[in-house]
Amino acid sequence: MADVLIRVCGLTKDYVMGDTTVQALRGVDLEINQGEFVAVMGPSGSGKSTFMNLLGCLDRPSSGSYFLQTQEVSHLSSDELAGVRNQKLGFVFQHFNLLPRTSATENVALPLLYANLSSAERTEHALRRLAQVGLADRADHHPAQLSGGQQQRVAIARALVNDPMLVLADEPTGALDTRTSIEIMALLQALNRQGITIVLVTHENDVANFASRIISFRDGQITSDRPNQANDAAAQLQ
Amino acid sequence: MSFLATLRIAMNALRINKLRSALTMLGIIIGVAAVIVMIAVGRGAQARVEDQIRSLGSNIIMVQSGSFTGGGARGGSGSQSTISEDDAAALGREIDGIQAAAPTLRGTGQVVAGNANWSTTFYGVTPDYLEVRDWSIVDGRGFEPFEMAGAAKVALIGKTVAANLFGDVNPIDQVIRVRKVPLTIIGVLDRKGQNMMGQDQDDIVLMPITTARKRVIGSTQAKSRNVNAIMVKTRDGADMDVAEAGMRELLRQRHRLQVGQDDDFFVRNLSEILQAQEAASRVMAILLAAVASVSLLVGGIGIMNIMLVSVTERTREIGLRMAVGAKGGDILNQFLIEAVTLSLIGGLIGILLGISGDFLVSNFAGWRTELSIDAIFLAAGFAAVIGIFFGYYPAKKASRLSPIEALRYE
């Protein structure tokens, strides 16, 4: 049995909009182990995005607890949460969110800037991660000079640069064509095999099927949580 | 996060939007340059007035006999003079606030030296005259008491007279003829320049008042002790108004004027006019600086405007930075440094522009300007403060964004 990485208990999140309160999450209990590849599915409004924001320490729950490894993070201040994100988490977004007119290396090194690493260290780590995603020869390119798939690889390298314990990917293939999507999934699977825990949000079954566990949300609650016989993305590319 | 790294991010952001950064800076550039030039122009005008006061001799009150200021009705020659050397002595003796009272006899005429001649004004004076007018002798000596008593044929001349009669020759011990009376030059007066009416104050010959009365101006006044004017200098810190009132009262008593009878003399406080002018020019200087400051303020608002646009435009970038670990303070610093950098670079260019503008104004418009270091520091400091002040709100706004909403911003 692997170590528990994430444990959430009775997690709720309410949004107050005018005089109505929207209950985005209505009590979620979940454990995710080190090394898992989890896909979170559900229609819009199901609470999966809210859940991801909480997992990503971008937001605080209304109630409930969230242990990341052994650290209870649900009541930390925003600055402390920023520190957790900086040290322990990596993010991959649907629209890549790279800084324009900034080289791939600098984009990848961005999280290290806020970790107070020296310029030389930042560049060294960034180049290593770029090589890991197969873009060593594009280090000086700006995002505009890269294809969508390459941009997402740069974004993945950025998510990895701080050696995170958890990578959160929010619709990472949503802006890519099918083949490029499979390439990205193959990359994520490869990283997962190297021991990185990945939680992926998607509404596409094809994409979710590359994960080894699928959790479905509806109306702010988990409706199903099942292991999945993962498709091998690398094999599909052959 | 280190200051240097933040500075680099800010500089990069400014470099990416070169034109926009330049235009934003332009407001500060113009503001700072305007403040510097306007303060220089204002101070120049003030300095001119101060110089005039200084050249006139500070704290001067003039007493003139009625016949000179009364116009046609009193007409006639110097025989109508109502004030005398004794009045001057009394003023100096009896009024507390008076440092010196110098009686003067005035005349004009052709002055001849060798084969050169020059039309000028000459004054019969006492040694008090030089003290009253803060006038020094650059070459030679002043009048000795025995020369005063003996109506000695000696004279002091101004620079203009010296230049016109003697050119490069040393005028000391040379002889000039004033109304055919030969006078030996014993000294040359320091240069005083123009007075506020534009008259050349160095176009002057001074001689002992006794010499002027007995030998030069002629017999009609020989027996009287009347003079044309008395120049009075008050002590430093003495109240000019009190001194003036005291003088007026004393002279009325000495001239035996009844209550209700008009003064037979005229008291003018010259520096009063100049002080009014100085006050006016000071107000003018403040006004100029104020107007220039407004343009600096407008420049600051321009910075705030652009920073707000920039924050909105880069909302996703802010969200991303926050997601990868930037704290609110990091974001605040980033945008604040950006704003301050804009205003400081603008301020620096503004200073250079201001200095060259000052150069242009003084050399081509011919205005007197006084460029001062403190005005430059003031403008630069003002620019920095404006950067912080107008940069803070947009930066604070950026730092308070929620990372989730910022990331989703379209």
- Per residue in B177-225, pLDDT (tens digit) is 988 899 999 999 998 887 766 788 889 999 999 888 888 887 555 557 8
Domain with A199, as residue range(s), is 35-61+77-237
**pLDDT for position B69:** 42
Q: What are the tokens at B353? A: 């522009």
**pLDDT for position B296:** 85
B4 Cβ partners below 8 Å, 6+ apart?
A: none
A96 in the Ramachandran plot: left (φ > 0), alpha (ψ -120 to 50) or beta? left
Final residue of a structural domain among B210, B238, B263: B263
Residue among A85, A87, A113 whose CB faces B323 most closely: A85
**pLDDT for position B271:** 63
Helices (H), B150-224: 159-166, 209-211
Position B334 in a domain: yes
CA-based nearest residue to B40, from B302, B267, B368: B368
The answer to whether residues B218 and B294 belong to one domain is no
Position A24 in a domain: no
CB-based contact, B320 to chain A, within 8 Å: yes
CB-based contact, A129 to chain B, within 8 Å: no
CATH value at residue A148: 3.40.50.300
Best of A15, A92, A97, A117 to mutate (most B CBs within 10 Å, chain B)? A97
Which helix (H) or strand (E) is B317 found in, with range?
helix B315-323
The answer to whether residues B237 and B292 belong to one domain is no
DSSP B220: G
The answer to whether residues B109 and B241 belong to one domain is yes
Position B310 in a domain: yes
Averaged pLDDT, B264-291: 79
**pLDDT for position B228:** 83
The owner of tokens 């052959």 is A238
Angle at A75 between CA A72 and CA A80, to 5 degrees: 85
Angle at A78 between CA A75 and CA A81, to 5 degrees: 70
Position A184 in a domain: yes
Confidence of residue B288 (pLDDT cuts 50, 70, 90): confident
Position A8 in a domain: no
Partners of A122 on chain B (C-beta within 8 Å) are: none
In this model, does residue A219 exceed pLDDT 60? yes
In this model, does residue A119 exceed pLDDT 80? yes
| pLDDT > 90: percent of chain B | 24
Position B64 in a domain: no
8 Å CB contact of B327 and A82: yes
CB-based contact, B329 to chain A, within 8 Å: yes
Q: In this structure, what are the phi and psi dihedrals at residue B315, rounded to the nearest 5 degrees?
A: -55, -45
Provide the shortest C-alpha distance from residue B317 to chain A (in Å).
7
Asked if ipTM goes beyond 0.90, one says: yes
Q: Is B109 exposed, middle or buried (0-12, 13-18, 19+ CB in 10 A)?
A: middle
In this model, does residue B80 exceed pLDDT 70? no
CB-based contact, B330 to chain A, within 8 Å: yes
CA-based nearest residue to B307, from B340, B352, B278: B340
The answer to whether residues B369 and B402 belong to one domain is yes
Final residue of a structural domain among B263, B293, B310: B263
- Minimum mean pLDDT among B50-59, B148-157, B163-172, B260-269: which range? B50-59
Position A66 in a domain: no
8 Å CB contact of B324 and A87: no
Best of A110, A125, A151, A171 to mutate (most B CBs within 10 Å, chain B)? A110
**pLDDT for position B299:** 87
The answer to whether residues B149 and B282 belong to one domain is no
Alpha carbons B130 and B147: distance in angstroms, whole number: 16
8 Å CB contact of A85 and B325: yes
CA-based nearest residue to B87, from B66, B108, B71: B66
Provide the shortest C-alpha distance from residue A235 to chain B (in Å).
32
* Sign of CA pseudo-dihedral B325, B328, B333, B339: positive
Alpha carbons B61 and B99: distance in angstroms, whole number: 11
Position B176 in a domain: yes
CB-based contact, A94 to chain B, within 8 Å: no
8 Å CB contact of B324 and A91: yes
B367 Cβ partners below 8 Å, 6+ apart?
A: B41, B44, B45, B361
Partners of A158 on chain B (C-beta within 8 Å) are: 324
Who wins on pLDDT, A136 or B262? A136
Torsion angle, CA of A60/A64/A67/A71, rounded to 10 degrees? 70
Best of A57, A99, A105, A162 to mutate (most B CBs within 10 Å, chain B)? A99
Averaged pLDDT, B84-104: 88
What is the tally of structural domains in chain B? 2
Position A223 in a domain: yes
CA-based nearest residue to A52, from A231, A179, A184, A172: A172
Alpha carbons A157 and A92: distance in angstroms, whole number: 9
Final residue of a structural domain among B231, B263, B295: B263
The average confidence (pLDDT) of chain B is: 85
Partners of B316 on chain A (C-beta within 8 Å) are: 97
8 Å CB contact of A86 and B2: no
In this model, does residue B327 exceed pLDDT 70? yes
Q: How many CA atoms lie within 13 A of B224 on its CB side?
A: 17
Q: What are the tokens at A221? A: 């609650």
8 Å CB contact of A110 and B321: yes
Confidence of residue B76 (pLDDT cuts 50, 70, 90): very low
Using alpha carbons only, how large is chain B's radius of gyration in Å? 34
Number of inter-chain CB pairs under 8 A, A vs B = 62
Q: What are the tokens at A227? A: 């292991």
At residue A157, what is the residue type? A
Residue among A53, A86, A97 whose CB faces B325 most closely: A86
Residue pair B269/B239 in contact (Cβ under 8 Å)? The answer is no
**pLDDT for position A18:** 85
Alpha carbons B145 and B151: distance in angstroms, whole number: 10
pTM of the model: 0.70
Position A5 in a domain: no
- Minimum mean pLDDT among A169-183, B184-198, B269-283, B374-388: which range? B269-283
Position A3 in a domain: no
CB-based contact, A35 to chain B, within 8 Å: no
Residue pair B99/B131 in contact (Cβ under 8 Å)? The answer is yes
A66 Cβ partners below 8 Å, 6+ apart?
A: A6, A7, A8, A11, A54, A55, A72, A73, A74
Averaged pLDDT, B112-117: 87
Using alpha carbons only, how large is chain A's radius of gyration in Å? 18
Position B125 in a domain: yes
In this model, does residue B246 exceed pLDDT 80? yes
**pLDDT for position B204:** 92
The answer to whether residues B148 and B250 belong to one domain is yes
Position A137 in a domain: yes
| pLDDT > 90: percent of chain A | 75
8 Å CB contact of B1 and A116: yes
Who wins on pLDDT, A119 or B50? A119
- Minimum mean pLDDT among A137-146, B58-67, B147-156, B164-173: which range? B58-67
The average confidence (pLDDT) of chain A is: 91
What is the tally of structural domains in chain A? 1
Confidence of residue B378 (pLDDT cuts 50, 70, 90): confident
Residue of B nearest to A87 (CA): B325
Position B156 in a domain: yes
Averaged pLDDT, A171-196: 91
Confidence of residue B68 (pLDDT cuts 50, 70, 90): very low
Domain with B190, as residue range(s), is 83-263
The answer to whether residues B243 and B344 belong to one domain is no
